[in-house]
Structure 1
Amino acid sequence: MEVSVNQDNFSILECFSSPTRIRIIELLNERPMNIRSLSEALDIKPPIVTRHIQMLEQAGIVASELIAGKRGQQKLCSLKLEQMVLNFRSQIHNKKPSVQKYDVMIPVGMYADYEVKPSCGLASEHSMLGMCDDPRYFADPVHRDARVVWFSSGFIEYRIPNYMLYNEQASSLEVSLEICSETPCSSSHLQPSDIVFSFNGIDVAVWTFPGKIGKGTAIFTPQWWHKDIQHGVMKHIRVNEQGTFIDGVLVSNMTIDALSLCADEEIVMRISSRSDAKRCGGVTLFGSGFGNYNQDIHCTITCK
């Protein structure tokens, strides 16, 4: 998200003038929390926390949703933004070109192609889909219901719908997803894994999952799920005119122009754990109904 430093954006910039709101952002960076948990961590009353959260929501920094709690519904808060760029030298006198964004959510089970090795498997919010460690079930049409997918090596491929018009040019492609290494059926100890992200056959980034993350109770993982691996980490991949970024950090010089995005042509995204990698620890993808974020694969194309 880019924000020009001017009076029009005062409500956004004001969010960072309060130590309490900064602390809330720090807490939510660790995990989603409800109002009561934030109140206890901050040692302030819940109504005051609510007012701070409302301000952060209006600025688009925090997102909240109502979920079932022990005593009725509770408001669960999580960070919505991965990064914010402040523009101090905005073009005041020149009219900004119009920007068009196309968003789509892709369930983790809606892959278009795959090549996986055991340990591997799929599960919906309610049950396992097929047998664990049998790649044949990845071809079963029921895979569309999957909300968690895992494999020890190989790849899984998604086709991102492209709604660009013929007179538009893509300026960025962004993908956010919850991911970790290893496989729930094989081990309770997560290993590091070199995970490759590719678009249209071009490797744009390699991210190494550090391991030792994913155990412990997750917010949305159903109770029937008895595996030790409960959640991953939220990663944000952005390819723009400057290069490829993961969580706002430049990781490669591969730009949006290299992907040759054209109107009416699907974008093929591949997520790989290659058997010849230095750290081949596999991939686990968590979608809605699993993990800590209750989110499918979120894809955004920005055009100018």
Structure 2
Amino acid sequence: MATSPTPALPLPADRPLLGIAFMLAAGLLFTLLDTGVKWLTQSYSPVQIVWARYTGHMLVLGAYLLMLGWPRCRAIMTSVESLPGQFLRGLLLLGASTFAFLAFRELPLLQVYVINFSTPLLVTLLAIPLLKERVTLARGLAVATGFVGVIIAIGPVDWRAQPAALLPFGMAFCFSLYQLATRRFGRNDHPLASLFYAGLAGALASSIIVPFFWSPIAMGDIPLFLVVGTLGAASQLGLIMAMRCAPASLVSPFLYLQIVWATISGYLVFGDVPLIETYLGAVLIVGAGIYLATRRG
């Protein structure tokens, strides 16, 4: 589950090919992560898997930071502009992950992804009251077109009989607020600091509630839990590095290749066959998202 975040301060010189490579890798890693999550949610509580994702995130990242040495690690960790803002980012990302993992248990990967791709549309709308940004008529029409795509992709749904269909919208809403918080608080922070504090907030909060949802983990599932945690850290770092190496308007569209990865993974692992309406809606959503990412007005 991913949508391009607001980039941190770019490197002095853009490296577009490296940025695209990082984004392609991040998209594939996110899909592998979500495939593992969907598999585990068939036997375990999504809350338990969220905890594993963030705990693994912190273990992997902590080991890497120790390799950097204490002086450099301290400089990175103390350079953030707003520590409360970074923790707010982490809690919003935790909310998005929880909604996503709940959705993966009930819905096909591709359907969840397509709705998640509406995040740039929500970011554009929410930036008006929260960041006092203005939206031109052209961008407003793009947002409207994207939401038409969402309606098409969902298709006719009896919300009372299928309440799980609402879960991806909770995910997209939390992730939109996460992106806006990144724009507000984490724009100039070191990517490792942003990754660390977001993971720390998620690990602490999920550790408090996971005892209420815990069930014993089978020995055969322990490696997959470890993989989920590792992929959680690696995919987020790939996303951040893509934004550091090249402009968001260049690399963001490549994340939409997750539609391809999710289609393949959903079919091979879970036997999901997407409806044509899902693809038609995805075309409108992705088109609107690319327009918003690449146009200033």
Q: Given the two structures, how large is their TM-score scaled by the length of structure 2?
A: 0.24
Instruction: Tell me which structure has the larger Cα radius of gyration.
Output: 1
Which of the pair is proportionally richer in helix? 2
Q: Given the two structures, how large is their TM-score scaled by the length of structure 1?
A: 0.24
